[in-house]
Amino acid sequence: MPAATRVPHLDLAAVMAALTEDIVNADDPPEAVIDRYFTSDVIQISDGSRFDRDELIAHVRPVRKNLVDFRYELHDSVSAGDRLAARYTLHGRMRNGRSIATEVYAFGERAADGRLHRIDQLTRELPADDSAQAATW
């Protein structure tokens, strides 16, 4: 993978924010976006559901169509070697005008080239209006 397309060594929430930015705003096809951030043998477990590369690519299409604005609120982030963990809230506005807020607990593992090889995450929806206060301890 050319150095220009490597995922920066940032905290996990920053990587997910960059991924979401590319999903929503980049002209690249979904395959290129997913391959920029994940290895070809990626496994993502979200709330008990398993996603491989093809399923992540399929997930990009409705997100790209429906999410019009978003921001990430980072609460905690740690990394050690190839392991990353973060707790953050994704705030978003959908094409139909609905606001969403989802708190995410994510744990990732990077491959040697910096892309994510595995990610496990647990999420919970928050009331969009109360998301900032609900996400604090």
Question: Which domain CATH number covers 34?
Answer: 3.10.450.50
What residue has token string 């969403």?
Answer: 100
Count up the domains in the chain and report the number.
1
Domain with 112 in it: 3-134
pLDDT band at 15 (very low <50, low <70, confident <90, very high): confident
pLDDT band at 16 (very low <50, low <70, confident <90, very high): confident
Which CA distances in Å does 47 have to 80, 106, 109, 120, 123?
24, 10, 17, 8, 7
Q: Does residue 7 surpass a pLDDT of 70?
A: no
pTM of the shown model: 0.81
